[in-house]
Amino acid sequence: MSIRDEVRAWLAENWRPGDDPRAFREKAVDTGWLAPSWSTDWFGKGLSAHDAEVVGEEFQRVGAPGRLDRDHLHARVIYELGTEELKRSYLRGLLTDQLEGCLLYSEPGAGSDLASVRTTAVREGDQWRVNGQKVWTSHAREAAYGLLIARTNADVPKHRGLTYFVIPMKQPGIEVRPLTQITGDAHFNEVFFTDAVVDDANRLGDVDAGWFGLMTALGYERLVLGARGVGSRAYDPRYIGTADDLIELARRHDRLEDTAIAERIADTYAERTAARLNAARYAAEGRGHDAAAMSLGKLMMSRILHRTARLRRDIIGADVLYDDRTDPPSDAEVANFFTLDAYFTSIGGGTDQVQRNILAERMLGLRKEADPSKDIPFREVRK
């Protein structure tokens, strides 16, 4: 039996539209279908990239949630970089949606240049004491743990004095403050650390070598964001299906016969497909962790979301002004939300400008901008 036949048979027996997603994920995780490329020791089936893509296609075909080995950023980082103990502690809870995680990277003075983070972790025996501030942290209020990059050595250049941790969030010394966005959501947060602690056993990689693990994690993040392409509410029950079905939207507003609109819809679907296939190509080539290569998908995603939001408004026309906040949301409300939300995608996971710099320098080989702080001890870098 081929992989496609095997997964089809399993889905036919275990998935019905409308099933409880969490209950379904429990079954799919325990049988290895949600992380098909991972080891059989860790909720996977050990499939090749090609066969794992087939599994994802079949889950998508029937509308079942799938492919967490590629799309669950936090689980993937721990699977790839974590110790056996960390995998035992976190992987199943993340894959079954019983645990939430967050990324503790950006700081008020270190967003585009992550190597300049100033949050410190000082070793005290088998623990590290953490002080500092992070910002633009998604899901920090709900998160059980965070992936933390912290300064552990200020006597070496900035890229060589960082260490990467998995830090429990529900502890004294961690304060989370929400940030209200232009959409009205409070998706982002500030996170303050005051003598918070993290066990050395929760370290990802070697001391002072966190930059290398972080680059791997950023590659995964850009891959996930690049593959998403339908906005941050894609999985919100109130918005699900509203972001990507442009044909149905045009039919509802009698614009499907409009040649200009039809061509723009076709262009949008073609761009989404190209972005998805490009991400699959890099994964098949073993470059899914290549942060520079993944910048292309991230930048493409941002462009698609802005153009899709503009297309939605043009399909709806003047009625887009009637944003009356109904339940379920009207087409106008959805269009307006995705118009504002598209700006999040131009910033989250590295700005569009940063992605263009990365592509220019690392993919095209253009000359890098001079960085006078790169080769001096971090404590001597001008603040």
Contact present, 224 and 295 (Cβ < 8 Å)? no
Comparing CA positions, the residue from 137, 181, 191 lying closest to residue 343 is 181
Q: Token match 């410190």: residue?
A: 120
Contact present, 132 and 118 (Cβ < 8 Å)? yes
Pairing state between β 162-168 and 145-151: antiparallel
Catalytic residue among 53, 107, 221, 333: 221
221 an active-site residue?
yes
Contact present, 311 and 341 (Cβ < 8 Å)? no
Per-residue burial over 24-63, b = 16 or more CB atoms within 10 Å of its CB, e = otherwise: bbbbbbeebbbbbbbeeebbbbebebebbbbbbebbeeee
CA distance 173 to 108: 19
Pairing state between β 145-151 and 188-199: unpaired
Q: Which tokens sit at 256? A: 């499907």
CA distance 180 to 338: 16
Alpha helices in the chain (DSSP H): 3-14, 21-31, 49-62, 68-71, 73-81, 84-95, 210-228, 246-252, 259-284, 291-316, 331-345, 352-358
Phi, psi torsion values for 225, nearest 5 degrees: -65, -40
CA distance 339 to 26: 35
| Catalytic (active-site) positions | 221
